[in-house]
Amino acid sequence: MASKYENNPAIKNFVEYLKIPSVQPNINYDECVAFLTKQANSLGLAVKVYEVVPRKPIVVLTWPGKDPKLPSILLNSHMDVVPVFEKSWTYPPFSAHIDDEGKIFARGSQDMKCVGIQYLEAIRRLQDQGVQLKRTIHISFVPDEEIGGHDGMKKFVVTSEFKALNVGFALDEGMASPTDEFIIFNGERSIWQIHVHCTGQPGHGSLLIPNTAGEKLRYIINKFMDMREQEKKVLDSNPKLTIGDVTTINMTQIYGGIQSNVVPEKLTVVFDIRLAVTSDLDKFEKMVQKWCKEAGEGVTFEFEQKNPMIECTKTDNTNPYWVAFKSAADALNLKLDRRIFPGGTDSRYVRGVGIPAIGFSPMNNTPVLLHDHDEFLKADIFLTGIDIYEKIIASVANV
C-alpha cells in the first residue's frame, strides 16, 4: 500500500469494502452486511436489513434529522460488482492494491463501492463537526443492480417499508469523467430487449425453398440496423449530443437451426435497444409490429425487458433539491455537465415511484473503467469526493 495513504481511515474503509468479493453471479452478501453493520455502529446510526427476496439483503443506515416529519434524503449505492477476467488484471481484482501513484486497483473502485464509502465518510465528518441536518438521511446499500436490480431496488421501492422511509430526493451513481468536469445524470433511456422469432419453410440446404426463416430474419435485421445507422448519424452530426441523447440498437444474439445442411423452421434474433427520452414508445412498438408483418408470415416478437418511459428529474428552479445540489456544487466551483445516463441504474426505479433522483459519482480527471480490466480510482480523487459529498449532503438535507 502506498505509504501516503495507508493510515488514512477513509481509505482503510474503502480498501476493506473493496476486498469483499461481492461479484456476480450467486453472491453471498453476508460479508457486505457485516461490514456495513460495523460502519453503522462506528457512526452511531440505526441499521435495518430488509429481505424482499431471500438472500438479497437491502441494508439501510439511518441518521435522523432535526425534523423527521420532512421528506428524507436517500443516498443509494449497490453492493454487487460485475465479473472479472483475472488474467487481464495487473493486480488481483479484489486486492485493492495501491500503487505509487495512489491508484487503488479493484473491481468496484469506480462502480460503485467508492460512492457508498464516500457517503459514510462525509456523514462521519459532519458528525465530527457537531452538525445536525434538518432532514433524515437514509443510506441504502442494495443487491443485484448489475443484473438489473429486479430482486433489489425494483422490488424494494413498492414495499410499505420503503414508503415508510418517506424519501423526497435520492442520489445514486453516475460515472467517471476524463475531463475536469463532473457529469450528473437526471434521466435514463428506456431499456427494451426484443427477441424476434422468424418461422419459415424447412428443407434441404441444397434447394432454394421459398418463404424461409433466413429471408425473414434478414429483413428484420436490415430494418433494425438501418435505424441504428440513422441514430449514429444523428449522434455524429451534433457534437453537443452524447450517447444518452439518442436511441441505441445493438444486435446481441442470433440463434436457431439444427445443422449446416438443413434449412431451419425457426431463427431468432435479439436486439438490445435503449430508447431516447424523446422517443414515442407506442410509436416505436407499432413500427416493430409493422416490420414483422412486412417480413412475412410467422414473424413474431417478445420482450425480455420492456422498461416504461420514466420522467427525467427536473434540473430547474421547480426542484428545490436540485437548487440545493447546484448551489453546493457552485460553492465548490464544480463544473457540471448534465446528461442522460447511457445505461441503466437503480435511479430508474426510484424515479418510477415519483421521487426525483440525480446520478452523481464525484470522479473527474479519471478514465471511465466501469466493468473494464484494471478498474481503479486514485486515492486523492476518492478523498476529494468525500469533501464534495460533505457539502452536497448538507445542502440537500437542509432544504
Residues forming the active site? 80, 145
CA–CA separation, 21 and 172 (whole Å): 21
CA distance 23 to 374: 15
Q: How far is CA 200 from CA 62, 217, 239, 271, 293, in A?
A: 59, 10, 44, 20, 14
What SS3 class is residue 138?
A: strand
Please check whether residue 268 is in contact with residue 195, taking contact to mean a CB–CB distance below 8 angstroms: yes
Q: Is 370 helix (H, G, I), strand (E, B) or coil?
A: coil
CA–CA distance, 397 with 375 (Å, rounded to integer): 32
Q: Which three cell numbers stand for residue 374?
A: 484494471
Rounded to an integer, what distance in angstroms lies between the CA atom of residue 40 and that of residue 60? 9
At 50, phi and psi to the nearest 5? -105, 140
Tell me the CA distances in angstroms from 41 to 27, 36, 47, one per residue in order. Answer: 24, 9, 8
Q: Of how many residues is the chain composed?
A: 399
**CB-based contact 209:201 (threshold 8 Å):** yes
Phi-psi region of 46 (alpha: psi -120 to 50; beta: other; left: phi over 0): beta
| Cα 137 to Cα 121: distance, rounded to the nearest angstrom | 14
Q: Collapsing DSSP states into helix, strand and coil, what is residue 341? A: strand
Question: Which grid coordinates are listed for 190?
Answer: 428506456
167 - beta bridge partners? 72
The alpha carbon of 17 is separated from its chain's Cα centroid by a whole number of angstroms, namely 19
Tell me how far the alpha carbon of residue 28 is from its chain's centroid: 21
Give the amino acid at 69: K
